[in-house]
A and B are shown apart, each in its own frame.
Chain A
Amino acid sequence: MLGRTASSLYWMSRYVERAENMARLLEVGYRISLMPGAIEGHRDEWRSTLTSAACEQSYTEKHGDIDGAKVIHFLLFDESNSSSVKSCLKTARNNGRAVRTALTRDVWESLNSTWNELAQIAPENITSDRLPEFLEWVKQRAMGFRGALLGTMLRTDNYYFSQLGNFIERADNTARILDVKYFILLPRPSDVGSDLDTQQWAQVLRSVSAHRAYRWFYKDSHYKPWLVSEFLILKEEMPRSLLFTYNWVNLALDGLGELYGSRYACHEIAMETHDRLKNGNMEQIFQNGLHEFLQDFMAANNSLSQSIATTYNFP
């Protein structure tokens, strides 16, 4: 397989995943913006959404003050923002188009019709009341893409590179949301355990579609920061947890290792990160600092991405 094909498959999946995550983040921002402003700290929700999406700086450079409608437009439709939903879907589709031959018809048509439908949507029609419907559409399309991929692609290198992009992006996303919410939204020790606290953690879970799963899993309707963090970092039952994503990253890398008959540095980096999660416990993580832990994780995740690119000759 061409190095460029591998690279395109990887980025195609990464960008679809990123579009879906962006939709989830906006869902949360939108929900909070609808809440009565009584709970202090919520007025900053759009800023926090931008930070979680790693778009705060580029937004401020372009628009200055935070304004709900502008934030929504920036994160959904602004093509100068490479992480907007529109940019993500465009990049994903361009990557897919470049390697059309490596995709099944179902995967390609899923990507292509998503893009065609999006091109028909006028941003000015996505007013606040129609936002939830649109975000739902984005999520559905992303899930449809993944379904086509899982259901029709041969389990060869095409599939493995797509999976790597998907789960490395998801890992980065979960880690970033947890880090931002924890670090920025809870700066004051006095807030811990307050109503505000509970609300914030509920939103963290919501942004990874895990608020109900949490209750089922812990048989507890009260969100505890400790458990929420554990759920999103260490629980492999949870499909957006860091450990879960690394299980899949390793499966894909093992697949490549077996197919090509060689293992490289990227296999070791991934295994190390996986083992740290597998053997980790929350007590220790909190003791050493959750923020530091997450920063380390994101750095390792990023170096894995780079190592994969070098190893498999991405252009």
Chain B
Amino acid sequence: MFAPNGSVRAPYARVEKWLENLGNEVIERALRESEARFRRQGITFAVYGDDKASERLIPFDIVPRIFSASEWRRLSAGIEQRVRAMNAFLHDLYHRQEILRAGRIPYDVIIQNEAFVPEMVGVNPVKGIYAHIMGIDIVRVNENEFYVLEDNCRTPSGVSYMLEDREAMMFLFPELFAQQRVAPVENYPAMLRKTLDSVAPPTTRNEPTVVVLTPGIHNSAFFEHAFLADEMGVELCEGDDLFVSDGWLYMRTTQKPRRVDVVYRRIDDAYLDPLAFRPDSNLGVPGIFDVYRAGHVTLVNAPGTGVADDKSIYTFMPDIIRFYTGDKPLLNNVPTWRCSHAGDLSYVLEHLSELVVKEVHGSGGYGMLVGPTSSKAEIELFREKIKTRPTNYIAQPTLALSAVPTFTQSGIAARHVDLRPFVLSGDQIRITTGGLTRVALKEGSLVVNSSQGGGTKDTWVLED
């Protein structure tokens, strides 16, 4: 919120005044109301390995994160460029593999990657799109510079929090929205529906039948699955509700079976089809992959997209963007060391206390080391892990992440945030005007993941 010289940045001017006049009592009441609201509506997520609190609320902070229209335009252009390159890259990987032939990425990085699905080679998804739904994690390091922290193109979650946070803010502080024009985010479900409809297979008769496929009520993001299905007006299915017959996909209804054209699946590749992938999966639909390959159904995202958001690929993203768009990347990567490189590895091992080390295939903030906030013992433990399997790790500098005002136990204080805008690719690219801002609630912490005690904020893009 503050510029380096300590002044309040322009987009925050009004909110800063509002905050000044807001008593702690009002804030506490608002927090109580919002918590009761989330609880009553069942807006919860599950934490794995925690039986007692199997459903928790994600802490919601009442101070919005704000971008000006021009900042957002710049960011959007960079995101769009990245997403286009990502889809071109995936299409290439599963077809001619030009980028590998050109020697820009080593074969091994792709072929030995667990997220690469050889069964997808030669398959032609509708409109050539693999990653229809992406969440790009972005951090701001100074006035004009944003870094992409991570690309999420498997099944990025959190969009329901973006929408519910906005609802909560409008409910608690309607006066704020009267004072300035905040770009809407509530059109996301309609945008998603349009995107899904636009990638229905050519065999679709009449209106496409779209479903959301969920692993079930025990999944951590079940609320979001139900929420999106509801908002889009489509059925929420579990694997058992779908079946394959004569090369087509159907759902079991109270009447005749109904043909399904597009599946927005929130199930990982490995569990999608026990006949094609993990045979012990009872979450998926036997035979669905064959139906997909025959072009009779669209899977969103396509199987095998995970290879593009892998952290070992991440380091190649600038090259990937240049290779497919011919342009300079508009959004930068965080400088990254690959522990698979001998030179990088020795640097990382020498500087562990300054670095953030992540597992190449990890997600959700599990299994990572944040050097500056870790004890000596923790660092030594991690050192051994890295030495045992260097290819499994990458390292990044701890960034001077932007901090925004957040309500804490000791009043309003600065806390680090990141941002996840959601990007849809179909007949066109659609980006949410805003996104999910995640905030590290612990003082000094850089870890924003909800599974690790992070919270969320409403994100505003001010209109000109």
By a beta-carbon cutoff of 8 Å, the part of chain A in contact with chain B is 1-6, 94, 97-101, 105, 108-109, 112-113, 116, 157, 161, 256, 260, 312-313, 315
Contact = CB atoms under 8 A, between A and B. Distances in A.
Nearest to B232: A101
B42 interface: yes
B235 A116 contact: no
Residue from A2, A98, A315 with most neighbouring chain B CB atoms (10 Å): A2
Nearest to A100: B226
A2 B237 contact: yes
B255 A101 contact: no
Nearest to A115: B42
A4 B238 contact: yes
B5 interface: no
A109 B39 CA distance: 9
Nearest to B233: A101
Contact of A2 (B41, B227, B253): B253
B254 A1 contact: yes
Contacts of B208: none
Contacts of A105: 41
Interface string B31-63: 000000001111000000000000000000000
Nearest to A157: B254
Contact of B253 (A3, A99, A108, A112): A3
Given A101-B226, A101-B229, A3 B254 contact: yes
Contacts of B222: 97
B252 interface: yes
Interface of B: 39-42, 216-217, 222, 226-227, 229-230, 235-238, 240-241, 251-255
A260 B255 contact: yes
Nearest to B37: A109
A116 B39 contact: yes
Contacts of A109: 40-41
B255 A112 contact: no
Contacts of B39: 113, 116
B240 A112 contact: no
Given A1-B254, A2-B235, A2-B253, A315 B240 contact: yes
Contact of B42 (A1, A97, A101, A313): A97
B236 A260 contact: no
Contact of A112 (B42, B238, B252): B42
Given A1-B235, A98-B216, A109-B41, 18 more contacts: A1-B253, A2-B251, A2-B254, A3-B241, A4-B241, A94-B217, A100-B42, A100-B226, A100-B227, A101-B226, A101-B230, A108-B42, A112-B41, A161-B254, A260-B254, A313-B252, A313-B253, A315-B240
A286 B384 CA distance: 83
Nearest to A98: B217
Contacts of B216: 98
A99 B214 CA distance: 12
27 contacts: A1-B235, A2-B237, A2-B251, A2-B252, A2-B254, A3-B252, A3-B253, A4-B238, A5-B254, A6-B254, A97-B226, A98-B216, A100-B226, A100-B227, A100-B236, A101-B226, A101-B229, A105-B41, A108-B41, A108-B42, A109-B41, A112-B40, A113-B39, A116-B40, A161-B254, A260-B254, A315-B240
**Is chain A's binding surface mostly helix, strand, loop or mixed?**
helix
Contacts of A108: 41-42
Contacts of B41: 105, 108-109, 112
Nearest to B235: A2
A249 B216 CA distance: 30
Nearest to A95: B217
Nearest to A103: B230
A270 to B, nearest CB: 16
B268 to A, nearest CB: 20
A164 B255 CA distance: 17
Nearest to B227: A100
B410 to A, nearest CB: 28
Nearest to A313: B252
Contacts of B241: 2-4, 315
The 10 closest A-B pairs by CB, nearest first: A101-B230, A100-B226, A312-B254, A3-B252, A112-B42, A6-B254, A1-B254, A2-B241, A101-B229, A313-B252
Contacts of A113: 39-40
Residue from B42, B229, B235 with most neighbouring chain A CB atoms (10 Å): B42
A116 B40 CA distance: 8
A6 B241 CA distance: 12
A115 to B, nearest CB: 9
Residue from A6, A98, A99, A312 with most neighbouring chain B CB atoms (10 Å): A98
Contacts of A260: 254-255
A94 B222 CA distance: 12
A260 B253 CA distance: 11
B56 to A, nearest CB: 13
Nearest to A315: B240
B38 to A, nearest CB: 11
A105 B39 CA distance: 13
A116 B55 CA distance: 11
A98 B218 CA distance: 10
Contact of A4 (B42, B226, B229, B252): B252
A220 B74 CA distance: 83
B230 A100 contact: yes
Contacts of A315: 240-241, 252
A97 B240 CA distance: 17
B254 A313 contact: yes
